[in-house]
A = this chain, B = another copy of it.
Amino acid sequence: MSLGFDLIRTTDQGGRRARLDLPHQTVETPVFMPVGTAGTVKAVAQDVVETLGAQLILGNTYHLYLRPGHEAIRRMGGLHRFMSWPRALLTDSGGFQVFSLSQLRKVSDEGVRFRSHLDGSSHFFTPEHSMDVQIALGADIAMAFDECTEYPAERSRAEESLRLTLAWARRSIDHFRGHQNEVVWHDELNGRTQSLFGIVQGGMYRDLRRESAERLIEMNFDGYAIGGLSVGEPRDLTLEMIAEVLPLLPANKPRYVMGVGYPDEIEQYARMGVDMMDCVLPTRAARHGLLFTSEGRLNIKNKRYAEDQGPPDPACDCMVCRRYSRAYLRHLMQAGEALSGTLNTIHNLAYYLGIMSRVRAELQAAERVPGGLPPFRT
């Protein structure tokens, strides 16, 4: 078995309260997944990420492939063991970073040749290679290799990009299915395997998005992601694409919107029926001094907080808000102290994870919609 997905409640707005059973963790959804790019949620130790209640975190295939290398991680027992993270992990396909971070990309039907942003060395990624790397890393969930269509994109460009993504999806799942028993913890976890999610692309064209979803569903992935959003488009377009795709996806499998978003966005999408979301925003913004609070966004660098002895967020019960003042957090930032990034990140993650915890409780309490689905196992 790769995953189990038990729908507990579905609201008439489409919101879903479910339980996602992964090899390393049973994840209560909807879930927000903190990003741990290079095997660390930047600036926060694993025991603290656990205490914050994170159930499932991301690793970036591109970064880990380049450093320390997927083969080294496999030899050390996989990413869970390497970074000492006992709960669930998801790795992206590497595609997004190849397109956004690397240099001298050359895309062909076969794959992508690129140069490392670290040392300029040349690498070639194919769907098959992405699968091999992700199987070596051994996250609970792997992602199909896709091309993230840029915004704006002409229709012809979006069509061509989708054609590539669909061909790569086919090759991804074929290769993955042929090798999924090779994951390092396969025997230790009683023959369980990783799951593979397909990624819906199609730019901002509703019919291309529909086509993308339909073709991927035919391939029978373990779950479906909506990618290519939060790439610069206006927010109502993001919403439109999500609303277009969600009803097409199988109700009995998890749905993941990649790379979103602001606190009100993740809340809105969760109520619409998105089960999983990830975003660098809470962690990256924290390192730049931007805190998300119940009173709105707060730029902790602002001079007005120089002697503000109140907590970052008066309504927050996190370990930072219980102990430290705005004035102290501002001081750490002004002084360039490493603790600044740590404390800001802890608060922002607590805020994001708290939103999802509240939404889960509300969905759980919602009226049960008649005609529920039986638990799904794949």
A residues at B contact (CB < 8 Å):
38-40, 42-47, 63, 67-68, 72, 75-77, 82-84, 306-307, 309, 319, 323-325, 327-328, 331-332, 334-335, 337-339, 341-343
Contact = CB atoms under 8 A, between A and B. Distances in A.
Given A47-B323, A68-B331, A307 B84 contact: no
Contact of A72 (B46, B82, B307, B332): B307
Contacts of A82: 325, 327-328, 331
A376 to B, nearest CB: 35
Q: State the oligomeric state as a number of copies.
A: 2
8 contacts: A38-B337, A40-B332, A43-B338, A43-B342, A72-B306, A82-B327, A338-B341, A342-B342
B68 A334 contact: yes
Contacts of A342: 43, 45, 338, 342
A313 to B, nearest CB: 16
A291 to B, nearest CB: 16
B84 A334 contact: no
Nearest to A48: B45
A63 B336 CA distance: 12
Which of A46, A323, A335 gathers the greatest number of chain B CB atoms within 10 Å? A335
A52 to B, nearest CB: 13
B43 A328 contact: no
A75 B44 contact: no
A79 to B, nearest CB: 11
B67 A335 contact: yes
Contact of A338 (B39, B76, B334, B338): B338
A348 to B, nearest CB: 15
Given A43-B342, A45-B342, A338-B338, 4 more contacts: A38-B335, A45-B339, A45-B343, A76-B327
Contacts of A325: 76, 82, 84
B84 A42 contact: no
B67 A338 contact: no
Contacts of A84: 323-325, 328
B76 A309 contact: yes
A334 B64 CA distance: 12
A118 to B, nearest CB: 9
Contacts of A323: 46-47, 84
A306 B72 CA distance: 8
